[in-house]
A and B are shown apart, each in its own frame.
Chain A
Amino acid sequence: MTVNIMLKYIFKRLIVVIPLLLAMSLLTFVFMQKTTGSFYDSLRMDPLISQETIDRYVQLYQLDRPLLYQYGHWVVNLFRLELGYSFYYNIPVVNVIKGRLWNTFILSLASLIVTWGLAIPLGVWAALHRNRWIDRCIQMFSYIALSTPSFFLAILLLYAASRTGWLPLGGMHSVHYEQLSFMGKTVDLLQHLAIPAVCLSFASIGSLQRIMRGNMLEVLGQQYVLTARAKGLPENRVVYGHVLRNAINPLITLLGYSFSSLLSGAALLEIICGWPGLGSLMLTAVRSKDIYLVMASFMMGGVLFLIGNLLADILLARADPRIRYE
């Protein structure tokens, strides 16, 4: 595919993204507004707060204006890259998210690396030694990994950590983080990252490994592999040069989709492991109806998802010459 065609294709896809995002945001907005209750309900239950004070809060954030006005106001500000204010924190939504964005990103990235770093080699290994005991072991491991709920694993690992003292009990940094050297800080971060990253990736390792194994076996059965072997190519070259490369192609789209989950954050796991990320922030925001915080997070997730899709399609086009986009 030439660069020109590719760029045209990307451009066409991006044009569609904008109305899609607006539709998503409108839907989210309507859901947040129309469901029972509002953010200031908790204030109503406080005997020391009068109705006038609650009214002032409501006016401050224009919650008493018509819905269309509020939504329109938000969209206009969107083009100025202002995402509104959080009712809870009384500061711009962007500042609230900024504080946690990096944390969630690191966790997701670590989980991605662990998942792919373990699943691919395991899948290849299993396929190459098909039906021998190592394959069966890996298969069993995958089944267990697939069926274990991540939060349960997290609780088990945290308990083990508390008994052995090998890893910290949740959180992202230790109390003395600031006083550590650069090396010390990296080690500290990795120690804290270990349990949440492993739990987050556990189930994905299982499923990705099985897919990889399946793909490898499919390609190993192809005619051109037989030809390559007949030609006298060393087995290493056959497997890692040709088979692996072809087997991994379909997984590239999966990588694109994984991109979109980079910033979504796994709320439950973050809460259990005490990881200060976006997931727990957003869960609280949805439950307490902090509307603009929720909208910002959904927009972020939506943008990343659509871009991730696009990325996946492009990567596939590059990797697989059979695919053409007109």
Chain B
Amino acid sequence: MANILPTAKRHCWQPILIFSFLTFFVFIQDNCWPHNDKYGGTLVLATTSDPKSFNDIIAKETSTTTVTGLIFEGLTRTNAFTLKVEPHLAERWEVTNDGREWIFYLRRDVVWNDGQPFSADDVVFTFNDLIYNNKIPSSARDIFTLEGEIFKVEKIDDYTVRFTLPIKFAPFLRGMGQAILPKHKLEQSVNEGKFNFTWGIDTDPKEIVGTGPFKLVAYKPGERLVFEKNPLYWRHSDAGDRLPYLSKIIYRIVQSHDAEILKFLEGELDYVSLMRGNEYPLLKPLESKRNFKIYDVGANFGSQFLCFNQNTGINPANNTPYVDQVKSSWFTDIHFRQAVAHAIDKEKMIEILKNGLGYPQNGPMSPSAGFFYNPDVKKYTYDIDRARAILKQAGYQDRDGDGIIEDKGGHKVSFNLYTNSNNPDRIQIAAIIRHDLRQLGMEVNFLPLEFNTLVSKLNATFDWDAIILGLTGGIEPHFGKNVWHSLGQLHMWHPRQAQPATDWEARLDQIFDQGVKELDENKRKELYDEWQMIASEKLPFIYTILGSNIFAIRDKFGNLKPTSYGGAFHNLEEIYIQKGVIASSPNK
């Protein structure tokens, strides 16, 4: 600082020195809002896979949404506590015309992170030119298409958009969490037909323009993603602070979950999710020593289940049934499936897989799903005697004393069990089920398969007996339609039915056809409660367990409000580093 002092004016150097010192002191702080010490700091997280793209329309899997979730926003947002839909980029909306016409009034204070104003043009562009574009393969399109028809999206004025739906669509508002992309950045690539290859991982981060609280500043493949706060972000806290508080977010790309745990313990990460049961007793005792806290926010979403092949179709290639007739008679027998459900020791599974930190699952939805979750579904307690009694009544018994039961025709009950080899949880579940069913007298041949092979069996050749699989899940039942409707592609136990094969599958079709159109929440709940009841009674899937959503967070953040639906950082823009801990994570 000395060399900026004018040497001639020796009498004036004192106030100049003081002024310089003060300015220097102000500028060394890591923020531009000197009156509030919530600002600043870095959050360091980890991810086990590189993003495959920054293009939210083309790529929707987790490694991409980790990135795009920070940069882009939708007209609405789901509140992670109440699980209700809230206004976000739209400040309010109106619904008319019997639930088919929606008018959204957009916020006027939103700008893109390159300074351009956000307007209805961007919303219309995102839908009409991207999502509904025939040349762009996008899974978002499937959500916004009803009975084969797309929605009409029109600009009314710069801040008003009208959506006209072909029929009533109950999940519409929730679906409007769909990210809105900038017209001024992407219009050209769409017109040139190059959109599918735009915003890939080789893009200059400055080009990825969104309205969200953070923007991407660097991506080193295999190493890390660096985000910085968007200084033009529109949201303010209740006290009037401009959000976000954090200056930087770094995602370190680690090769395995074990490496992640190790790095967290070494102080290199601020967060880690405890996915395996044995990690909790490892980390819990180190809480105070390594300055972190473990949160258990309830059951995870999704499901893992055992599914029997109930396909009664004939293979047109060789005119034989897809599934061996003898086995098919077992799998389609409800008593067989009920007995199997009673023979699976879920508590033991929770003990072995999750170290006691899990929940037995009996229906398709997770208890964390809130409003639509039906807690009264049929439950199957672990009861081998009852299982044997059910089987005996249905004609399955061990008549020759070799430990394996036979069916009415004298065939020994023996079948294959497959799962995908790259999922260690499912392999353990399969081992436990195999053991449990052996007690019951069934011989199970377990074989882990490469994922592609498994998918081919499920969708093309149908040559499988039993399978252990999982599905992701959420709070909106309609998004599982492809699994439960008899015409759905993921109707795994018996896909591609020309007509519903059973009465209960016909009823499920009705439920899903009606539930999507019913705008009265309570009537919807009745329908979907019935769905969960049918699922638990008819057992197309025999559910196993749900893990607890457990994670560890370093003790330096304020405003943490973790939930099972939102995870640890759903309110990322409100989170700040507590006073006295402004420095970023240790230098390693």
Using a CB–CB distance below 8 Å, which chain A residues touch chain B? 35-38, 41-54, 56-57, 60, 85, 88-92, 95-96, 98-100, 103, 162, 165, 168-176, 178, 270-277, 280-281, 287-289
A36 touches B456 (CB 8 A): yes
B58 touches A90 (CB 8 A): yes
User: Contacts A36-B453, A49-B142 hold; do A168 and B588 have CB atoms under 8 A apart?
Assistant: yes
Whether B83 is near chain A, meaning CB under 8 Å from some CB there, is no
**Cβ of A96: which chain B residues have Cβ within 8 Å of it?**
201-202
B259 touches A274 (CB 8 A): yes
B479 touches A48 (CB 8 A): yes
Complex Cα distance, B59 from A42, in Å, reads 13
A48 touches B139 (CB 8 A): yes
Complex Cα distance, B452 from A264, in Å, reads 25
Complex Cα distance, B136 from A309, in Å, reads 45
A172 touches B588 (CB 8 A): no
Q: List 9 A-B contacts (CB under 8 A).
A: A41-B451, A43-B139, A45-B458, A49-B142, A90-B197, A90-B200, A91-B197, A169-B259, A276-B253
A274 touches B255 (CB 8 A): yes
* Given A38-B452, A48-B482, A57-B137, 17 more pairs with CB closer than 8 A: A47-B481, A47-B490, A48-B143, A49-B139, A50-B145, A60-B135, A60-B196, A89-B52, A90-B200, A91-B202, A99-B221, A162-B266, A169-B262, A175-B250, A276-B220, A277-B222, A280-B255
User: Contacts A41-B456, A91-B200 hold; do A274 and B254 have CB atoms under 8 A apart?
Assistant: yes
Q: State the Cβ distance, A70 to closest chain B Cβ, in Å.
A: 18
Q: State the Cβ distance, A267 to closest chain B Cβ, in Å.
A: 11
CB nearest to B148 among chain A residues: A52
Q: Which of B463-505 contact A (CB under 8 A)?
A: 469, 471, 479-483, 488-490
A175 touches B252 (CB 8 A): yes
CB nearest to B255 among chain A residues: A274
**Cβ of B220: which chain A residues have Cβ within 8 Å of it?**
173, 276
B490 touches A45 (CB 8 A): yes
Q: Which of B506-553 contact A (CB under 8 A)?
A: none
**Cβ of B58: which chain A residues have Cβ within 8 Å of it?**
90
Complex Cα distance, B568 from A312, in Å, reads 57
A172 touches B53 (CB 8 A): no
Q: State the Cβ distance, B49 to closest chain A Cβ, in Å.
A: 9
3 cross-chain pairs, A with B, having the tightest CB-CB distances, nearest first: A276-B222, A37-B452, A91-B200
Q: State the Cβ distance, A71 to closest chain B Cβ, in Å.
A: 21
Set A41, A173, A272: member contacting B255, Cβ < 8 A: A272
B455 touches A44 (CB 8 A): yes
Complex Cα distance, B202 from A89, in Å, reads 9
CB nearest to A176 among chain B residues: B587
CB nearest to A50 among chain B residues: B142
Complex Cα distance, B91 from A165, in Å, reads 52
CB nearest to A277 among chain B residues: B222
B471 touches A47 (CB 8 A): yes
User: Contacts A42-B455, A89-B52, A276-B220 hold; do A47 and B482 have CB atoms under 8 A apart?
Assistant: yes
User: Contacts A91-B197, A169-B266, A172-B223 hold; do A51 and B453 have CB atoms under 8 A apart?
Assistant: no
Complex Cα distance, B237 from A306, in Å, reads 63
Complex Cα distance, B197 from A38, in Å, reads 20
B202 touches A95 (CB 8 A): yes
Whether B256 is near chain A, meaning CB under 8 Å from some CB there, is yes
B459 touches A89 (CB 8 A): no
User: Contacts A91-B202, A169-B266 hold; do A276 and B196 have CB atoms under 8 A apart?
Assistant: no
CB nearest to A87 among chain B residues: B52
Q: State the Cβ distance, A120 to closest chain B Cβ, in Å.
A: 32
A53 touches B221 (CB 8 A): no
**Cβ of A51: which chain B residues have Cβ within 8 Å of it?**
489
**Cβ of A270: which chain B residues have Cβ within 8 Å of it?**
255
Q: State the Cβ distance, B564 to closest chain A Cβ, in Å.
A: 20
**Cβ of A275: which chain B residues have Cβ within 8 Å of it?**
222
Interface size on B, residues (CB 8 A): 59
Whether B44 is near chain A, meaning CB under 8 Å from some CB there, is yes
Set B55, B259, B480: member contacting A170, Cβ < 8 A: B259
**Cβ of A42: which chain B residues have Cβ within 8 Å of it?**
451, 455
**Cβ of B222: which chain A residues have Cβ within 8 Å of it?**
99-100, 103, 172, 274-277, 280-281
CB nearest to B53 among chain A residues: A90
**Cβ of B561: which chain A residues have Cβ within 8 Å of it?**
none
Complex Cα distance, B505 from A44, in Å, reads 21
**Cβ of B116: which chain A residues have Cβ within 8 Å of it?**
none
Per-residue contact bits, chain B 255-270, to A (CB 8 Å; 1 contact, 0 not): 1100100110010100
**Cβ of B137: which chain A residues have Cβ within 8 Å of it?**
53-54, 56-57, 60
A174 touches B588 (CB 8 A): yes
**Cβ of B44: which chain A residues have Cβ within 8 Å of it?**
175
CB nearest to B489 among chain A residues: A51
**Cβ of A274: which chain B residues have Cβ within 8 Å of it?**
222, 253-255, 259
Whether B224 is near chain A, meaning CB under 8 Å from some CB there, is yes
Complex Cα distance, B138 from A288, in Å, reads 20
Set B145, B223, B256: member contacting A271, Cβ < 8 A: B256
A45 touches B255 (CB 8 A): no
Set B453, B480, B587: member contacting A47, Cβ < 8 A: B480
**Cβ of B266: which chain A residues have Cβ within 8 Å of it?**
162, 165, 169
B138 touches A85 (CB 8 A): no
**Cβ of A100: which chain B residues have Cβ within 8 Å of it?**
221-222
A48 touches B142 (CB 8 A): yes
**Cβ of B254: which chain A residues have Cβ within 8 Å of it?**
170-171, 274
Complex Cα distance, B224 from A287, in Å, reads 24
Complex Cα distance, B450 from A274, in Å, reads 24
User: Contacts A169-B262, A175-B268, A276-B221 hold; do A44 and B200 have CB atoms under 8 A apart?
Assistant: no
Whether B320 is near chain A, meaning CB under 8 Å from some CB there, is no
Whether B445 is near chain A, meaning CB under 8 Å from some CB there, is no
**Cβ of A47: which chain B residues have Cβ within 8 Å of it?**
471, 479-483, 488, 490
User: Contacts A162-B262, A172-B223, A271-B256 hold; do A89 and B201 have CB atoms under 8 A apart?
Assistant: yes
User: Contacts A45-B455, A49-B142, A175-B268 hold; do A95 and B223 have CB atoms under 8 A apart?
Assistant: no
Whether B585 is near chain A, meaning CB under 8 Å from some CB there, is yes
Q: Which of B422-474 contact A (CB under 8 A)?
A: 450-453, 455-456, 458-459, 469, 471
Set A57, A165, A171, A272: member contacting B223, Cβ < 8 A: A171
User: Contacts A37-B455, A103-B222, A172-B222 hold; do A90 and B256 have CB atoms under 8 A apart?
Assistant: no
User: Contacts A36-B453, A41-B451 hold; do A53 and B480 have CB atoms under 8 A apart?
Assistant: no
B488 touches A41 (CB 8 A): no
CB nearest to A56 among chain B residues: B137
The residue among B250, B256, B452, B469 with the most chain A CB atoms within 10 A of its own CB is B452
Whether B141 is near chain A, meaning CB under 8 Å from some CB there, is yes
Q: State the Cβ distance, B567 to closest chain A Cβ, in Å.
A: 20
Complex Cα distance, B224 from A276, in Å, reads 10
**Cβ of B142: which chain A residues have Cβ within 8 Å of it?**
48-50, 52-53
Complex Cα distance, B489 from A44, in Å, reads 8
**Cβ of B200: which chain A residues have Cβ within 8 Å of it?**
89-91, 95
Complex Cα distance, B139 from A60, in Å, reads 14
CB nearest to B265 among chain A residues: A162
Q: State the Cβ distance, B179 to closest chain A Cβ, in Å.
A: 15
**Cβ of B458: which chain A residues have Cβ within 8 Å of it?**
44-45
CB nearest to A275 among chain B residues: B222
